[in-house]
Amino acid sequence: MISAVKYIVLIAALFFSGSIFGQKVNEPKNNPKEWSEKTEPFRIAGNLYYVGTYDLSSYLIVTNNGNILINTGLANSLPIIKENIKKLGFDYKAIKILLITQAHFDHLGAMADIKAETGAKLYIDEKDAAALISGGKSDYEMGKYGITFKPVKSNRLLKNNEKITLGNTTLTMLHQPGHTKGSCSFIFNTNDGKKTYRVLIANLPSIIIDRKFSEVKDYPGIQNDYAKTFQAMKKIDFDLWVASHASQFNLHEKRKSGAAYNPNAFADKATYFKNIKDLENIFLKKIKQ
């Protein structure tokens, strides 16, 4: 009885304080212009396509039973993503599963709208669930800007190494926290009729705070999470890789507009391991301070 009353009071408090849904989205401005610019969509390898903006990666995985979209860019990326999917000859409404690599506004700004428009199910790393519901307000760093994207509820919470299957494609989610509590990468096999490629969609663990890890009260395990993520990311085996930002995997150097299908352009493993090492060095320097 008491708990029921408490519950009602809590619900009422949420409604009348206007705490989440009543507040307006304050997406940070002054972002790099490349985040909002168009770029040519293209086939990366097998059933994996690039449909994002010039720098904010969005990936479409086309299966024989609907499609998967990973990351949505900013709120203003939506028309670009839709146009890119159309240009490739696919149906925006065929998106059945939505995924993200991290709960920051530059990767899920359009998520609530895409989810509503397509009716697709959103699967997320369980540790980013709170950030999604709060519109980013609960994030240890970006929370200082308030609500930075439209709050969105997930349909399924994923744990490390959990599988996501749609039609003939199965992805594995790799829990790689630090950048956000539920940052993650995805790995899967794709075949283009000639060859099978193991593709890594990597979320690189960059550090976004100036203060010490010990001062991050909203994320007490942050330093340990980064340390574990670096170890895990150094051990991943794959053939091709891409990332949450085009600039992180040098997309526009690897592929010029109008270029023919060439999966091997993304086989550059040396850059992946160098990027991880460089980021780890920044991390090691930071914890010594």
Q: Which residues bind Zn ion (CB under 5 A)?
A: 104
User: Least distance in Å: CB of 145 to Zn ion?
Assistant: 13
Return d(Cα 289, Cα 286) in angstroms, integer. Answer: 5
Q: Is the dihedral of CA 101, 102, 104, 108 positive or negative?
A: positive
Q: How far is the CB of 163 from Zn ion (least distance, A)?
A: 25
Min. distance of Cβ 204 from Zn ion in angstroms?
10
What is the closest distance, in whole angstroms, from the C-beta atom of residue 7 to Zn ion in the complex?
34
Q: Counting beta carbons within 10 angstroms of the beta carbon of residue 167, is it exposed (0 to 12), middle (13 to 18) or buried (19 or more)?
A: middle
Tokens of 68: 């998967």
203: nearest Cα among 238, 245, 266, 161: 245
Give the single-character DSSP code of 86: H
* Residue 47 Cβ vs Zn ion, minimum distance, rounded to whole Å: 26
Q: Which is nearer to Zn ion, 13 or 208 (CB)?
A: 208
Phi, psi of 70 (to 5 degrees): -110, 120
Sign of CA dihedral 234, 236, 241, 245: negative
| Nearer to Zn ion among residue 104 and residue 137 (C-beta) | 104
Q: Which is nearer to Zn ion, 104 or 175 (CB)?
A: 104
Is the Cβ of residue 104 or residue 255 nearer to Zn ion in the bound state?
104
Q: Tokens standing for 251?
A: 């997309």
CA neighbours within 13 Å on the CB side: how many for 7?
4
Nearer to Zn ion, 106 or 280 (CB): 106
Cβ-based nearer residue to Zn ion, 104 or 115: 104
Nearer to Zn ion, 104 or 181 (CB): 104
Identify whether the C-beta of residue 175 lies closer than 8 Å to the C-beta of residue 160.
yes
* Crossing angle (nearest 10°) for helices 78-87 and 111-118: 50
Residue in the shown chain whose Cβ atom is closest to Zn ion: 104
Residue 203 CB, nearest approach to Zn ion (Å): 8
We find the least distance from the C-beta atom of residue 208 to Zn ion, in angstroms, to be 7
CB 222 within 8 Å of CB 241: no
Alpha helices in the chain (DSSP H): 2-17, 78-87, 105-108, 111-118, 129-133, 222-234, 251-254, 269-288
